[in-house]
Chains A and B, each alone.
Chain A
C-alpha cells in the first residue's frame, strides 16, 4: 500500500493540513496491517486502501470550493488526530475510561428506552440498558464493518444530484465512484472503517420504546469514526434518539459519522439527532436516507455544541407518496461554526417534504445553512417546502444561507424561504413595558424562536424533555449583557 500512496502526489496544502492527512493515512495503514492476515477482512482492507487513495487525490476542500466557502477547515488542522484507542480483548470501554452510571445522568430521558451506549465509538454493555426489550423483530449488530456495510461510494452517490432530471433507478448510467472533495469525510470514514452498527426492524413491527444511541467521547485528540445503518422493513415503525457528547470539557475530539437509513414501503422512522460536543470538538456527519413508497422520515437535528460542525443529510424520496420532514435547531455561540445542509431529492410522484431550520447565533458564532430541493421529471405533484430562519443576537454573529430549488417536473408546488435578523426592538420594549427585564425578554423571545421546530415531535415526554433541557441551557444565554454593551 505504501507503493500506491506514492502514485498520487498530494495537492498543494498548508503543512498542518498535510500533517493531518498523513496522520489519517497512517491510522488507516495501521488498521490494514492489523487485518493483513485475516482473510475475512481482505475486502475491507481493499476498500480502505481505495478510500485513502481517493483522499490523496482530492486533498482537503478549501474556501474556493463552492460547498466549503463558508465552512473552512482550518480549525481542524490545528491538531493532529489519531483514531480513538480501543480496549484490548473484551474489556468494557466504560471500565477502561473509569466511567460509572453517574456519567449518564444528564443524557437519560424520563422514559424507558433501549439504550445503546458507546464510549469513544466502542459499545459498552455495562452502561447500556433496556436490552431485554430487544426481541426477534429487532436486530442490533455490531460487527466488522465490511460484513455489514456493503454500500459503496457509488451507492451513496445515488442520493445526490438531479443532473439530467432522471435519477436513481430511472437513470441509465451508474453513478460515478470518482473521488470528490465534497465527499472528503466519506473518504475518511471509509479509510478508517473498522466496526459498524446495523439496526434492522422486521416488517410490520412497531417498536414501542424509542432506541437511544448515546455516543460518549472521552479521549483527547481522538477521531471517533462511526458508521451506522438503519433498515426498516415494510410498515415497520421506530424512533431513535442519537446523542453525541464529550465527558471531558477540555478534551478535543473529532466525531466523523456516516449514517444510512433505508425505509421500505410504508415504514416510519423518526430521529432526534442531538449533539452537545464540547467547545473544542469537531463533528462531521453525513446521513443518507432512502425512502420507498409511502414511507415517512422525520428528523430533528439539535446542534448545540462543537467548535466546528457540519451535518449533511441526503434524503431520497424514491417511491410515490413518501414523506420527509427535516428540522434543524442550532444554537451557535462563542467561536462556534455550525453548518447544516440538506439535499432532498424528489424522485417519485406525490411525495411531500417539509423543512424548518432555525439558528440562533450569538457572540462571534457563524451559522451556515445550505438546502437544496431537487425534483426529477417523474416527480409530478411534488409538494416541497423549506424554511430557514435565523436570529442574530450580536453584531459579530454571522449567518450564511443558501436555499436552492432544481425542478425538472412541471406540476409541482415547491417553495423556499429564508430570513435572518435581530430581535425586533419593539418586542423587547413591549415586554419591558410589562415589567419584564431586558435580558429575560430576550431569553423568552429567543427561546420561543429556537424551540419552534420541536413542536412536531409526536412523543410527548421526549418533546417535553428536550424542551426543558433547552430552556435550562438558554437561561444562561451567557454573554448577553456583554453583547448589549458591545451594541451600545
Chain B
C-alpha cells in the first residue's frame, strides 16, 4: 500500500500539465475556470489540439487513436485536464458513440466515424431521453421502421445536450414494437441535416441554452447506420452508460473549484478584511476539502483495483463515485455562491460580445448560474436515486 506515484507517473503528470498550460489557449481555460459557457469553437479548438498530440481519445483502442496508458496514467491525465481547466473532449464523441462504434460497429462504420469523432469533425449528440422515458429509458417510444434500404424514424427526443451544434445524433429507437421493453430497441446514427429533424431549444434555469428537444418526423436513415444488431441496441446503451459513469466523479474539476474559491475569498471584501478571514468560512472550505480528499482516495482505490478486474466491465463502485462526485461538485457551487454574497444577485445575460461592465467582481456573475446549472449532475448520467438502486442490487443484494 503506497500513495506515492512512481517517478515515471510523476514525469507523465509534468508532461501533460506542461502541454495543457502551454498549448490550450489561456482564454479558453479562463472561461472554464470562471464557469462561463464555451462557444462551439472553443471546444473544437481545444479538442483538436489534444487530438494532434494523440490525446483526445486515449482510452480508445490503439488502432483508432488510443494510447496504451495504464489506469493510473489515465487517471492522472483526466485529473490534470480538469485541474488546469482544459475543456473536456466532447463526451458524446469520445466517451459514448466512439467506444460503442469501436466495440459494436462494422469496419466501415469505424473508418467512417471514429477519426472524425476523435477530431471533432463531427459533433455528436445523444438522443436517448424522451418525454416519457427518463430514468426508465427502456420506455422509449421513438420508432424506426424499415422501408426498402432505409429506416423511417418518428418520435421525439428531449434534454438533448448541445444538439444545436451537432452534426449527428445517436439514438435509441424502437425497431420491434411487439417486443417487451429492453428487447426491440436499436442503436441508430442519424445525420442532423436529414429532412424531418427539428431542434428546439429548452432554456435551463441558469438562463443558458444547453439542452434541446429534437423532433424526428419521417426521418429517412440509411440501413447501414444501425450499430450492432437490430433489436440489440440495449447492449450498446448499457456499455455506453458504464463508460459514462467512470469519469463522472470529476475530482480534478472540484479541486480546481475549491482552490479557486480559496483564492477569490482572499480578495472578497468583508468587514475590515476579506471573507477568508472568517474562521467559519474557512472551516466550511476545510470540510469540503476533506470530503473531496475522501472521494479522491476512493477514486484512486478504484483505479488501483482496475488491474485486478477481468474484462471491460465497469466497477459497480463507480456508482459510489457518481453519487459522491456529483454531490461534491454541487457543494463547490454552493460554496462559491455563499462566498460571493450580495454580488451573486446581478443577472448578466450570456450574450456574446456584450460590452456591459459587470456589477461587482468580474467573476462573480457566474456564481449563481453555475449553482443553478449544476443541479443537473445528480439528475443526469443515471440519477443519484437510480445509482442507489444499482448499488442496492449489485453490491448489497437487496
Question: A and B: real partners?
Answer: no
Interface residues of B (CB under 8 A from A): none
Interface residues of A (CB under 8 A from B): none
